[in-house]
Chains A and B, each alone.
Chain A
Amino acid sequence: MSEQAVLTGEHFMTGDEAAAEGGLAAGCRFFGGYPITPATEVTEVMAKRLPGVGGVFIQMEDEMASMNTLLGAAWGGMKSMTSTSGPGFSLMMENLGLGIITETPCVLVNVQRGGPSTGLPTLVGQQDMMQAKWGSHGDYEIIALAPSSPQEAFDFTIHAFNFSEQYRLPVLLMMDESVGHMFEKVVIPKAEDIKLVPRRITKDKPADYLPFKPDDDLVPPMIEFGEGYRVHITGLTHDEKGYPVINAEAQQPLVRRLCEKITKNADKIYMYDERELDDAEVVVISYGITARIAQQVVNECRAEGKKVGHLRLITCWPFPEPIVRKLADRIKGFVVPEINLGQMSLEVERVAGRGIPTICVPNAGGEVHNPEDIHAVIREVLK
């Protein structure tokens, strides 16, 4: 090790670079990936920086293999990370599921561009939000964070690593091209001021250890290979020993626990920003780059005396149901701008119910919203 892992100080950098630096500051020492616009700069920073801090960078043959390297590296004792965009995210879906069923901590950064398919490599989209939740087969719960600035790309990558260790699963940083390629000031704290969640290692002796027996919070502790423990890690349904058991008796408790370790701890996971909600009649819900456009619109509405508030999602998954439900009981309606044709707005509508309108402000991608389009919908709901 010859270089600083934590670049304490003030920088002017992109969201992509900040996500990479956030990973390094969180202790990530393995990156397996395949470059793809607009996430390439994450890969570039890691390729340049990891060898100097005692880490390993591998450019893999594709994104399926990349995702698997994360799982292997994590079980080998490292904190691991990758970055990609739409087409690569699709390829990572199968092995994201392997990460979920094997309860492997790691972080996947998706710098979203316009799709479907190769779509708009260089231009913004937020079209992978439902894929993040449902893209891998089988039932699962996920944690996905959406940064709105390079500073948050740094901060939330650290949160993502902490959640991944706390709850033992792959965590998604759902960035977008605008935030990924935007330069802003990023303040990196001193290493000792960055709070990190350490890997949960079992206290059981090797003879007593059951690798998939959970603690009270439904999360099982891990081991360090080479310390005398024997663990079988499989994508098949398994019992607490980790061996394949292909029947309903094993499937029911395992899949329920994989979901419940998130749903039952959700109150500790939810992150969101509340702006001027107290007297709001209309609430805008947004995330990522769109939250900045939405906040500008909300400020303009307030200046005109309109009672409009803003709920900015930081954890899109788990979706913060309690605050949305609470607001739905007393406001006139939700307005949900997003750079897709209606994804998180479906979740808002599900939770808000049919009593009040939830109106998406759709945008198929390529550019951020025109603020006037959001204004127009707010005016409609306020009528």
Chain B
Amino acid sequence: MKKEIRITGFGGQGIILSGYIVGKAAAVFDGKQATMVQAYGPEARGSACSSQVIIDDNPILYPYHRDLNILAALSQEGYDKFHTLVRKDGIILFDEDLVEFDAPADVAVFKGVPATRIAEDLGRVMVANIAMLGFLVAQTEVTSADAMKQAILSAVPKGTGDLNMNAFERGFQHQPAEIVVGAGAGV
């Protein structure tokens, strides 16, 4: 089944890397089709930064988003910019310390994770994106957990594997308070 995933935040949070990891997990380690494109250029600098991933069982033709299933927001600006694009039956994941939302009526399921706080607990704020990927896998099964872990280990600097796996696990285990708005139900 086709799924469109957008990860958004601000520059330096590893947003593009996160999209790369999701795409690689699906394409290389889960054996599915995946395409990742990034908002690129001056229009993407210093403000809402985002990566777009499409995962499908069939070959992907149109490579850009038309019907967003999942938004993972690590900044308010990214959330504000993209949350209205999510399908009614989609899901929005967000860093609960960084994003406050005025839930638009009749759209999506919202689930929060303290991704940045988890990373701070682990001593490296830079792994907040990996905590979000753990949360993403647990809540949406967009890839298998094994594939995501393999993709993370293949993409992060040598010597940071344990740290990143800890961040992944903490995000994966987090039990969110589910906020259901409108008629949406899962992905």
Q: Which residues of A contact B (CB under 8 A)?
A: 10-12, 37-38, 121-123, 178, 181-185, 289, 292-293, 295-296, 299, 368, 371
B104 an interface residue at 8 Å Cβ cutoff?
Answer: no
Question: Contacts of A10 on B, CB cut-off 8 Å?
Answer: 27-28
Interface string of B7-43 (1 = CB under 8 A from A): 0000000000001100110011000011111101111
- For the complex of A and B, the 3 pairs showing the least CB-CB separation, nearest first, are A122-B41, A12-B24, A185-B27
Determine if B28 and A185 form an interchain contact, defined as CB atoms under 8 angstroms apart. yes
Question: Closest CB of chain B to A373's CB: distance in Å?
Answer: 13
4 A-B pairs besides A183-B20, A368-B64 with CB distance below 8 A are: A10-B27, A182-B63, A185-B34, A371-B62
Question: Contacts of B27 on A, CB cut-off 8 Å?
Answer: 10, 12, 184-185
Determine if B63 and A178 form an interchain contact, defined as CB atoms under 8 angstroms apart. yes
Q: How far is the CA of A183 from the CA of B37 in the complex (A)?
A: 6
Interface string of B46-72 (1 = CB under 8 A from A): 000000000000001111100000000
By beta carbon, the residue of chain B nearest A371 is B62
A-side interface mostly: mixed
Determine if B63 and A11 form an interchain contact, defined as CB atoms under 8 angstroms apart. no
Contact A184:B34 (CB < 8 A) given known A12-B27, A12-B28, A37-B41: yes
Question: Contacts of A38 on B, CB cut-off 8 Å?
Answer: 40
Contact A296:B61 (CB < 8 A) given known A121-B41, A122-B41, A185-B28: yes
Partner of A182, one of B28, B36, B41: B36
Question: Contacts of A178 on B, CB cut-off 8 Å?
Answer: 37, 63
Partner of B40, one of A181, A184, A185, A296: A181
By beta carbon, the residue of chain B nearest A299 is B61
Determine if A296 and B62 form an interchain contact, defined as CB atoms under 8 angstroms apart. yes
Partner of A292, one of B20, B28, B61: B61
Question: Closest CB of chain A to B66's CB: distance in Å?
Answer: 9
Interface size range on B against A: 20 to 34
Partner of B34, one of A12, A289, A293: A12
Determine if A123 and B28 form an interchain contact, defined as CB atoms under 8 angstroms apart. no
Q: How far is the CA of A371 from the CA of B61 in the complex (A)?
A: 11
Among A123, A292, A368, residue most surrounded by chain B Cβ atoms (within 10 Å): A292
By beta carbon, the residue of chain B nearest A120 is B41
Partner of B36, one of A121, A183, A295: A183
Question: Contacts of A183 on B, CB cut-off 8 Å?
Answer: 19-20, 23-24, 35-37
Question: Closest CB of chain A to B60's CB: distance in Å?
Answer: 8
Among B28, B37, B43, B63, residue most surrounded by chain A Cβ atoms (within 10 Å): B63
By beta carbon, the residue of chain B nearest A179 is B63
Question: Closest CB of chain A to B48's CB: distance in Å?
Answer: 16
Determine if B23 and A293 form an interchain contact, defined as CB atoms under 8 angstroms apart. no
Partner of B61, one of A11, A182, A293: A293
Q: In chain B, residues 60-96, which have Cβ atoms closer than 8 Å to a Cβ of chain A?
A: 60-64
Determine if B20 and A12 form an interchain contact, defined as CB atoms under 8 angstroms apart. yes
Q: How far is the CA of A275 from the CA of B62 in the complex (A)?
A: 17
Question: Contacts of A299 on B, CB cut-off 8 Å?
Answer: 61
Determine if A182 and B62 form an interchain contact, defined as CB atoms under 8 angstroms apart. no
Question: Contacts of A121 on B, CB cut-off 8 Å?
Answer: 41
19 CB-based A-B contacts, threshold 8 Å? A10-B27, A10-B28, A12-B24, A12-B27, A12-B34, A37-B41, A38-B40, A122-B41, A123-B41, A178-B37, A181-B37, A181-B40, A182-B36, A183-B19, A183-B20, A183-B24, A183-B35, A184-B27, A368-B63
Determine if A295 and B63 form an interchain contact, defined as CB atoms under 8 angstroms apart. no
Question: Contacts of A12 on B, CB cut-off 8 Å?
Answer: 20, 23-24, 27-28, 34, 36, 151
Contact A293:B62 (CB < 8 A) given known A12-B34, A122-B40, A123-B41: yes
Question: Closest CB of chain B to A172's CB: distance in Å?
Answer: 23
Question: Closest CB of chain B to A72's CB: distance in Å?
Answer: 34
Q: How far is the CA of A183 from the CA of B28 in the complex (A)?
A: 12
Question: Contacts of A182 on B, CB cut-off 8 Å?
Answer: 35-37, 63
Question: Closest CB of chain A to B7's CB: distance in Å?
Answer: 13
Question: Contacts of A371 on B, CB cut-off 8 Å?
Answer: 62
Question: Contacts of A122 on B, CB cut-off 8 Å?
Answer: 40-43
By beta carbon, the residue of chain B nearest A184 is B35
By beta carbon, the residue of chain A nearest B66 is A371
Q: How far is the CA of A299 from the CA of B62 in the complex (A)?
A: 12
Question: Closest CB of chain A to B156's CB: distance in Å?
Answer: 14
By beta carbon, the residue of chain B nearest A293 is B62
Question: Contacts of A185 on B, CB cut-off 8 Å?
Answer: 27-28, 33-34
Question: Closest CB of chain A to B41's CB: distance in Å?
Answer: 3
Question: Contacts of B38 on A, CB cut-off 8 Å?
Answer: 181
Q: How far is the CA of A183 from the CA of B34 in the complex (A)?
A: 8
Question: Contacts of B42 on A, CB cut-off 8 Å?
Answer: 122
Question: Contacts of B151 on A, CB cut-off 8 Å?
Answer: 12
Question: Closest CB of chain B to A348's CB: distance in Å?
Answer: 22
By beta carbon, the residue of chain A nearest B27 is A185
Question: Contacts of B24 on A, CB cut-off 8 Å?
Answer: 12, 183
Question: Closest CB of chain B to A278's CB: distance in Å?
Answer: 21
By beta carbon, the residue of chain B nearest A292 is B61
Question: Closest CB of chain A to B80's CB: distance in Å?
Answer: 22
Q: How far is the CA of A295 from the CA of B60 in the complex (A)?
A: 10
Question: Contacts of B33 on A, CB cut-off 8 Å?
Answer: 185
Q: How far is the CA of A121 from the CA of B37 in the complex (A)?
A: 16
